[in-house]
Structure formats: structure tokens, C-alpha cells
Structure 1
């Protein structure tokens, strides 16, 4: 599939790409092939694709695996996928953030920017072997950011705690139709055991969320405002800002918060 073929399909289906949905369709089959190849799919793998669009990844996925499920919200695109691949694909019509993910081994998706963060967080709650996602380049940089940088975020910490994450390649904006304003990147996520232990994961994730929601404030101010610790709490790092702490230090902080919450 190239730009001309994509333009024809857009015309034939009557789809009007919506900026609000991040509908920028990949037009370079070489990129699509590499995207799928990076996922190391075997015939027996259960594959999940969110937002198949016009099927540039889907048609490669069904040649790699016998069990492919697509989740598509847009009715016109869902109809197209169903009409084109109905005998090879299980189609779930609905919002990826609202429908239950089926069991899967490999996750392969070109994620719209508007849902990249919630989909990644939802993905991390599932048991899988590997995910390869196409996201905006600036989002990819947040996924693998270093401590103390502007890109370092709650997303960075949660990914580091649960998986190995690396940028595989940058994909120019010219490889999409309509052409977006920014480049994209392919990112690999491979689940692994956490490199450090915490006393309570829910507390760890909550501390991370609360502190990064107010990243310019001191950690103590944020946690006290959220009623997670008393005003007289004696905990390390309260005078620091969360962007200066490594994930391991945030884990240490969350353990102390947990002790205050469960004396």
C-alpha cells in the first residue's frame, strides 16, 4: 500500500480522517513490514491490534499468525476491515479504552496520539510477550526518558517498573496520509520482572501519579494535599521534585508512604 492506494481507499470507503481521532494512515508497506517483523510473531501467537485503520498492518499480521484480533471504534473502518478480512480476523467494534482486551501474546498497533497514554497503561496491566507500537516521536521519547529531563514522566516510571522499552526507529511524517505535523517512532515494549521491589504496587503507582501531576511542586506538598501523608511525616525526598528521583527512589518513597498509610 502506497500513498496513491491509500488515497483511493480513503475515497472508496468514504472515511474522512479526523484529527481528533488521530487518523493518520501509514502508507509505506516497508515500514509496516518492519513493524510486524519487530514483534517476532509465530503462527501460534495470539495477536492484538488496536486501530487497524485501512489494514496495512492487518494484512501482514494475518500471514504471520492464525489468531488476530482487531479493535476498531470507527464504524466505516470497522466495516472495511470486516469486509476485507472477515474470515481471518476477529473484529471487536468499540473504544479500546472501554472494551475488554482479549488474551493476547503480541500487541502490534499504530496508536493515535489522543489515546497513546491510556492504551499503554491498559496494556501494562495485561500478561503478554511483546508489544511494538507506532507513536508520535515526542511520546516515544517520554517512554524512555532519563531522570531529570523534561520528558521524564509518570509514563517513563511505570514502563521502567514493568518492562524493557526501547525506540526501534523514527518514521518520517511523510509516510502517513494525511501527513501529520510531527514524526513518529516505533517502540518495543517487553515485559520483565521489576528491577526493584515495593511493599505495595498500588501505593507506588499512586505516589507516582500524584507527584507527577504536580511535578513543579515539592513532593511533600503534593502528597500532603492528596491526604496520603500527615503534615508531620518524616519521609525522605519530601523537599525534592519528583522529576529528580529515579524509579528506585520513588519506590523507596512509596514504601515509606505505605507505612504511614498502614501503621
Structure 2
């Protein structure tokens, strides 16, 4: 089914055919700007991203799904709302019939994810952080829509106001770049904030850590006290980091590093400190 002279489905017409408006209480804001929708697949293909099997999280009425089907060999669309999932199965019956589209009804944080090659999604804002950090460790490239503030924190550099645990965690798995800011007017209904598209490219970090889970717990711990020196942050957060002997870590660590604040340490410095903490701090099993 097409709605325009170029053969694409009109986003507003898709919403009408779905027979249901977005529910902001369920964090639904549908991207309806054709120009933005048309550009999103380009952010994937211009870098040579493998689009043989694209995962879309939060497909809604299917405007982005329609664009992805022009760039991908196969698309798996996850949709939690049963009404929109039913609409997708009807709207894209031909694509489903030729195995180019699979609709998965369920919560993206709970369903089994397919063996996809890339994820391109307009994420529900309320769960965007949890979804992103379910996807990033899978080492697949992404183009994802976030709130602008969240996007800028993901891509922030050490020593900047936006730099934090999110920056280090995202950068641990991938190169992160904000490729476009998207105004409120591009959505229906309009959200209260500006949005941004983020492209992530998987990479191995230029440092090593003893254990990913411990590293993430260590980051979460020290960034809860980002305004304190690392000396105090390490000592005050053992209930989060799981360290058994924080004093041993402080005594063994470089004095300059312990005098710094979390927002000024590079990812490599965090990795070195986490490695030391794992070695001498007796983490709980």
C-alpha cells in the first residue's frame, strides 16, 4: 500500500489507518516528518552499515518501518502496543508474506532479540537508556532517536559538563556521534523536548578491564559522587561497587588520580583504576 507519488506511505495516513492516536502516557510520540524519516536510513547506508537484517524497536504505526524496508533486506519490528502490532501485521501483510518483515509483539526489554545486523529505531524515551544498553553490548551498529540531552551526554568528552557515566559506558562499546537534532514539530504528538539521532559504530576500547560487569558497577558507583574526589567517591560507594576494601584501592592508586573528580578522568583512566580496584579491593563474589 502506498500513499505518495514516490511510492512511500504517508506517516499521517498510517496513523489514521491504525485507528488509534499516540498515548503520551505510554511514551508514544510518532515521527511524522517525511524529510527526517527519509534521512534516517541514509545515516546507516552512508557508512556501509550492514542492513541485511535491521531491528526496529518501537515501530508504532510503521512510518519508519516503511522507510527501513527500502534500505534493508529484512526488518524485525518490535512493538509493545497490541493495537499497533495488529495494525503493522495488516498494513505490511505483503512484506510479511515475503519474509521481508517480522512483527514481534512484546516489550523490547523482555523479548528474545533476533540475530540482527543493525538497529535503527525511534526509541520510546522512557525506556531509551535501558534499551540502548541492551543493544550496545551486542556489538551491532545503530541509528537511534533519543532526547537531545541524553544524546549529547552519550557523545560527551571528558572534562565537559555533559560527560558522565553514560558517556564512558556508551564509549566502552562504540564510537558515538550525534548526526542530527530533530525538532519537536517532527513528531505527533509533540514531545516537550528536542530530540537527536545518534549513530553508534561498534569498536573495541583501547584499554582492557578485568570484567565488564564490575567495570559498569564501578562507574555507576563513582559517578553517584561526581563532585567529590575519586578518593572519597571510591570510599563512599562500596555498597554500589561491591568493593570489600576501598582503603586498599585508595592507598594503591596514583595520588593525582585519587585527587581528581570523576568528570575529569578519561575512559582509559577509569579502566586502569577499575583494574586496580579489582586486583586489590577484594570485590564481593
When normalised by structure 2's length, the TM-score is: 0.83
CA pair 9-162 structure 1, distance change in 2 beyond 3 A:
closer
Distance (Å, rounded) in 2 between the aligned partners of 1:232 and 1:261: 8
Distance (Å, rounded) in 2 between the aligned partners of 1:43 and 1:199: 31
CA pair 244-100 structure 1, distance change in 2 beyond 3 A:
same
- 1:163 equivalent to 2:174? Answer yes
1:101 aligns with 113
Question: 2:67 pairs with 60, 65, 80, which one?
Answer: 60
Q: How many residues align?
A: 260
CA pair 239-221 structure 1, distance change in 2 beyond 3 A:
farther
1:224 aligns with 238
2:263 aligns with 243
Worse overlay, 243-252 or 7-16: 7-16
Report deviation, 1:9: 4.2
1:209 aligns with 220
1:76 aligns with 83
Distance (Å, rounded) in 2 between the aligned partners of 1:126 and 1:231: 32
Report deviation, 1:6: 4.5
2:7 aligns with none
Distance (Å, rounded) in 2 between the aligned partners of 1:13 and 1:124: 31
Report matched runs for 1:8-19 at 5 Å: 9-19=14-24
Report matched runs for 1:55-204 at 5 Å: 55-86=62-93, 87=96, 88-128=100-140, 130-204=141-215
Distance (Å, rounded) in 1 between the aligned partners of 2:52 and 2:144: 17
Report deviation, 1:239: 4.5
CA pair 47-8 structure 1, distance change in 2 beyond 3 A:
closer
Contact in 1 for aligned 2:137/2:173 (Cα 8 Å): no
Report deviation, 1:134: 1.3
Contact in 2 for aligned 1:72/1:92 (Cα 8 Å): yes
Worse overlay, 218-227 or 20-29: 218-227
When normalised by structure 1's length, the TM-score is: 0.89
Which one has a larger percent helix, Structure 1 or Structure 2? Answer: 2
1:253 aligns with 273
SS at match of 1:107: strand
Contact in 1 for aligned 2:56/2:75 (Cα 8 Å): yes
Q: Deviations over 1:237-263 (max 9, x none)?
A: 445432221111111110111102459
Q: Structure 1: where are the runs of 5+ without partners?
A: none
Report deviation, 1:12: 4.2
Contact in 1 for aligned 2:31/2:186 (Cα 8 Å): yes
